[in-house]
Amino acid sequence: MLSSDTVRALTECVIAADADADQMGWGQRPTLLLVHDWLPTPARPNRRHAMRSLEFPLRPDDRLADPAGLPALLHRLAAALTQPADTGPYQATLETIIDRIRVSAPDARLVAWAACYADVHTRGGQPRRARHVDAVDVDGRVYQLTHLRGEDHPLVLVDDTPDPHDLPATYPGLVALLAATAHHIQTRAAAGAQRPPWSRLRAEPEEPIFGVWGPDGASVRCRICGAVDEIVQDEVPSMAGYGDDTYTRCTRCGSVETTDPVFGWRAKPATWPPTPEPDQS
């Protein structure tokens, strides 16, 4: 179950998708977006909850000029993702996106699929051009944004219990994409590929070293040696020229977590208990 903060962040993400499309101008073809979020890392519990949408590129013959064909395309995409692995370009595209997510956000989870497209909207009996952003999250919640051409602000509706008679035409296809994405990742993991299932996009060896601890989550505990609040942390501007490098080290066992804009999140767990030194006598 998604939290209210996550629903709010996803709503903001849908609005941001419309703003990005607005900069591209009217007349753009439909765009599909995979939306994921990542939670504050255990070593940095105060980091702001973040969310990102990544465009899912369409094949040249799937770039629709008519939005009426979009629902069928969503189902065709979902069907392709449920085929055996490595049988088509859609799987390769999804794998590339997942790899990109894992580099920048190892603790990411799938939140929603969305579709951004232009259409004709009737208001007061008058047809007007409009941009829509439809999204469905993993709880089945529906997000509908309508931005009439010439108006400054879009209308956004979030429905926790959508009426089956008032759903966007893209709804069944977006639901199918959510299910197909989970199926695809689970199939890859079962086949031995380093692709864990959603809800987390990281393999077991890459589990975070540090976790929040205590009744209020005010402490940090090393999951390697069990030490509580025995850490040193640092954050400095990255030598990459943008972003920050972070460093968290357990002073008891020496396990380390680092992040940087180039390589993303990395963990170096120490051996625990430590290997006894050979007897020098």
CB of 43 closer than 8 Å to CB of 257 = yes
Q: Indicate whether 39 pLDDT > 70.
A: no
Domain boundary among the residues 166, 181, 205 is at: 205
Count of structural domains, the chain: 2
Tell me whether residue 273 is in a domain. Answer: no
This model's pTM is above 0.85: no
How many whole angstroms separate alpha carbon 102 and alpha carbon 266? 11
What is the structure's pLDDT at 197? 38
Give the separation between CA 114 and CA 55, rounded to whole angstroms: 9
Do 220 and 196 belong together in one domain? no
Q: Is the CB of residue 266 less than 8 Å from the CB of residue 251?
A: no
- Which residue, 185, 205, 225, sits at the end of a domain? 205
Is 279 part of any domain?
Answer: no
pLDDT of residue 194: 46
Tokens of 91: 């799987």
What domain range is 226 assigned to? 208-268
C-beta atoms surrounding 218 within 10 Å = 10
Residue 17 lies in a domain: yes
Task: Report pLDDT digits (tens) over 113-136.
Answer: 999 998 877 766 777 888 999 999
**134-185 pLDDT, tens digit each:** 999 988 899 999 998 888 889 999 998 888 888 898 999 999 888 888 777 6
- Summarised one tens digit per residue, pLDDT across range 237-250 is 877 677 788 899 99
Q: What is the pLDDT of residue 133?
A: 94
Say if residue 277's pLDDT is above 60: no
**Type of residue at 176:** A
- Per the CB < 8 A criterion, the answer to whether 180 and 144 are in contact is no
Kindly state whether residues 181 and 252 are assigned to the same domain.
no
**In terms of DSSP H, where are the helices of the chain?**
4-24, 70-81, 89-104, 171-190
**For residues 1 and 181, which has the higher predicted lDDT (pLDDT)?**
181
Residues 248 and 170 in one domain: no
